[in-house]
Chains A and B, each alone.
Chain A
Amino acid sequence: MKRLYLITLLIASLVAACSGVQPASHSDSLTVMTHDSFEVSADLVSTFEQANNVKLVFLKSGDAGAALNKAILSKDAPLADVFYGVDNTFLSRALAADIFEPYNSSDLKTIPAEFQLDQGNNLLPVDYGDVCINFDKAYFFEHNLPVPQTLEDLLKPDYKGLLVMENPATSSPGLAFLLATIAHFGKENYLDYWQGLSSNGLVVVGDWSTAYYTNFSASSGHGSQPLVVSYASSPAAEVIYAETKLTEAPTGSLTGPGNCFRQIEFVGILKGTQQRQLAEKFVDFMLGVQFQQDMPLQMFVYPVNPQAKLPPEFVQYAQVSEQPANLTPSDIASHRDDWIAAWTDVVLH
């Protein structure tokens, strides 16, 4: 019995010892904290590493909210030098937490002013994407039903039970769609709209994967709703990742005026970094043409740098909202919780 216990202790201390062994934090490594959806070409990263003689370490830390939360919680001993993935719905919260250092990158000159939401340049825009309703082309063709064009159309009895969306309390596209309706109908009237949608058979699920792959009829899950809240770029992904080569996207996006909400994602240098110069170089790298051209096919988002050329699949199949709904980050920050709570009361209870 005793010997067994000694073995146990030995193993335990071995474990403890091993876990203490660290990849020593080299002075020539740069840590980038980001969310789960971050993707980048391996080639680009090694080009940057070679040019700057640095090792890039990526820390993926859950979805956008979770990653930001971790950055805020660890601000006394920052886990990374750069943070990528704050979007405009979290922008004010992130700035209020005071975790970023300003950086006036010279690349900002080329980026349109509409994306530069932080005048202090703590957070610099990198990419944007529109959250819009996607529709199943074949369903509407087969049922001889016109594709809805506006948010108001969705209240018609023809479209009863055809729309699935994500819960705004647990999913960022769900929240973005709620924000689009608030911008479109106004803070006084948006709940009436949701009341209407709710009685017209709106289906709400917990997350994007369920909505898209379980409920949406045009996806591989072959669900029962031909309308889903997703991204304007999703049709392009359907073509690129099709099972057999397609010449036309099986889905489309409702990109009419006021139908969509534009998510803009930002990058910032974390306060307390020991690698300020390298961090600046990495931010410039993200805003530069090469990285900006890489993003569309990696993350299915649009570059903010107008000099970046879009890949042909994007030009052909992805759509951009004509007039995305507009709410200021500070407006979103101060009302976000109330809006979600009010929506929950009307739609879920």
Chain B
Amino acid sequence: MRRFLPWLGASIFLVVFFFYPLLRILWLGLDWSGLEGNWDQVARLAGTTLWFTFYQAILSTLLTLLVGLPGAYLFAHYDFAGKKLVKALTAVPFMLPTVVVAAGFNALLGSRGWVNVVLMNLFHLETAPILFVNTMSAILLAHVFYNTTIVLRLVGNAWMRLDPRLGQAARMLGSKPGEVFWKVSLPLLRPAILAAGLLVFLFDFTSFGVILLLGGPHFATLEVEIFIQSMQMLNLPVAALLSILQLLCTLVFSVLYSRVVGRVNVPSTPFMNPMRKVNTWPARIFVSGMLILLISLFILPMAALPLRSFASLDPAMGQRTVFTAHLTLDYYRELFINRSGSLFYVPPIQALVNSLSYAGMTVLISLALGFPVASALVRPGRVERALDPFLMLPLGASAVTLGLGYIISFNQSPLNFLTSSWLVPLAHSTIALPFVIRSLQPALAAIPDDYRKAAAVLGAPPLRAWFAVNWPLVGRATLAAGTFAFTVSLGEFGATSILARPESPTLPLAIYRFLSQPGGLNYGQAMAMASLLMLVATLAILLIERMRLPGSGSF
């Protein structure tokens, strides 16, 4: 019984807010008679969609690791000016709704984006040399843009905690630096890399907005197809079938992951690895190369939006090809005016407050539920091994399906809280929970048992030993987990658009509202709102990372 205790909170939570609504909608949708007669067609649809879903997810994950791993090394080992800011900025994409990201990429790489305009002027070209929007590269680049932060944070934290004495010992025994990396560091980092890889893969596997808006109509993942079948064709049986397929795949990945990671305890050190100064030429080349890569990948596409939010691009009278750009605060001013007297107008500060309070509640809920589970997973018994893969399922569930599940499950007593403002953070917590657990678990597992035993031998009661030994070591990981929960909530769009009350929208919803009506002012206000979201996201992350949990910053 004691073994089940840590699982109690999270299990009840997931059963009520994930499995119950999901099973209800799938049960309702699974009407085999509706499928009879066109099995061939359905099988073909499922086959091609599944293939593409896998193909793009594998490619995207590999590319994300390719950028993320050197990035993680950079942040874990080097000190340089502006490091905190760059690190915070790499997490911002994770919080941006796809409509905004699409606009940013377009301003940079679209047919009239900066890059194409510069190239056309340089080489006197008639047409844009780079075709970006609606291509496979757009999907891949956007996935890297969104998810690299997962690798940077999970692997970076593990790398920082890696006991330097192991590498030093290998060097003393005659290994070359390269050998140390391949034979010592990499195997020790494997759990963190796999955990990050799994999370990135699941995000790419269930990708929706990026495929729809940047990939265009030529590409469809399972999630996109589920949306088309359930919302546009109102064909619930096929949608349910595809949802089950997606869930099964997620379960298989999670089981594989648990098997591969198994019981690895990575020795770690309570001493932070000393940061290196950038004072040798190889280090200079590496650091500046990585920084150029990170800035052009993460910061340039985002920079376009704040720039646009301060610029009015009106054509000079009668000459549409000549634009006079002038600086303006009009869009920001306009945000505070309810010009049409609409009932649903929300002042930007209110949208901001809504977003932040949902995100705050998500952090509390998911940390409270995730911590005991992550601790239990450190020394997994039969219970842990059996339940572990199910924890990842919320990442593989289709947001559309789950949203419909909420509608039919929470509309009558005793579970009548469809109109409750708690529903949004609860839904966000189902997505944040796997993140929290996956980022806490490697850190908790890395604490050598000897330390706690030593404390016990010295006479500390278990609780005191835990706070004196374990807590300082997991403080950083707790912050990382909290940051993930915060970012998941701040940027979530799919579930929020279904569950949030119209009078209390989040920032992404408010941005979307502006972008669904024509007119320059609406577009400008969307850009202004997006800039506001970016600013808040950056500040929040800087603040969280600066925070020192009580007792954890003593060395």
- Would you mind naming 13 contact pairs between A and B with Cβ atoms under 8 Å apart? A2-B463, A12-B12, A19-B426, A69-B234, A70-B407, A73-B28, A73-B404, A74-B408, A169-B233, A170-B224, A209-B512, A237-B517, A241-B519
Q: Is B54 in contact with chain A by the CB < 8 A criterion?
A: no
Residue of A4, A23, A138, A219 near B523 (CB, 8 A) is A219
Contacts A5-B5, A70-B407 aside, 7 further interface pairs with beta carbons under 8 A come to: A1-B463, A5-B6, A19-B417, A39-B340, A40-B343, A45-B343, A62-B497
Task: List the A side residues contacting B320 at CB < 8 Å.
Answer: 138-139, 141-142
CB interface residues, A 81-99, toward B, < 8 Å: 93
Task: List the A side residues contacting B9 at CB < 8 Å.
Answer: 8-9, 12
CB interface residues, A 50-101, toward B, < 8 Å: 57-63, 65-66, 68-70, 72-74, 77, 79, 93
A337 to B518, CA, bound (A): 29
CB interface residues, B 97-135, toward A, < 8 Å: 99, 102-103, 106, 110-112, 128, 133-134
A12 to B338, CA, bound (A): 39
> What is the minimal beta-carbon distance from A34 to any residue of chain B, in angstroms?
9
Q: Is B252 in contact with chain A by the CB < 8 A criterion?
A: no
The stretch among B262-270, B290-298, B365-373, B389-397 that forms the contact with chain A is B365-373
Residue of A3, A23, A59, A234 near B502 (CB, 8 A) is A59
Task: List the A side residues contacting B554 at CB < 8 Å.
Answer: none
Q: Is B508 in contact with chain A by the CB < 8 A criterion?
A: no
Task: List the A side residues contacting B416 at CB < 8 Å.
Answer: 22
Name which residue of chain B comes closest to A78, CB basis. Answer: B411
A241 pairs with B218, CB closer than 8 A: no
> What is the minimal beta-carbon distance from A63 to any residue of chain B, in angstroms?
7
A206 to B516, CA, bound (A): 13
Q: Which 4 A-B pairs have the closest CB atoms?
A: A241-B519, A138-B320, A220-B523, A167-B217
A203 to B320, CA, bound (A): 23
Task: List the A side residues contacting B519 at CB < 8 Å.
Answer: 237-242
Q: Is B258 in contact with chain A by the CB < 8 A criterion?
A: no
> What is the minimal beta-carbon distance from B455 to any residue of chain A, in angstroms?
13
Task: List the A side residues contacting B364 at CB < 8 Å.
Answer: 11
> What is the minimal beta-carbon distance from A296 to any residue of chain B, in angstroms?
11
A69 to B234, CA, bound (A): 7
Task: List the B side residues contacting A70 at CB < 8 Å.
Answer: 404, 407
> What is the minimal beta-carbon distance from A190 to any residue of chain B, in angstroms?
18
Task: List the B side residues contacting A102 at CB < 8 Å.
Answer: none
Q: Is A15 in contact with chain B by the CB < 8 A criterion?
A: yes
Task: List the B side residues contacting A15 at CB < 8 Å.
Answer: 365, 422, 426
Name which residue of chain B comes closest to A136, CB basis. Answer: B320
A70 to B234, CA, bound (A): 10
Q: Is A145 in contact with chain B by the CB < 8 A criterion?
A: no
A12 pairs with B13, CB closer than 8 A: yes
Residue of A43, A66, A139, A209 near B341 (CB, 8 A) is A43
> What is the minimal beta-carbon distance from B8 to any residue of chain A, in angstroms?
7
Q: Is B552 in contact with chain A by the CB < 8 A criterion?
A: no
The stretch among A119-127, A150-158, A191-199, A221-229 that forms the contact with chain B is A221-229
A39 to B517, CA, bound (A): 11
Residue of A12, A38, A61, A93 contacting most chain B CB atoms (<10 Å): A12
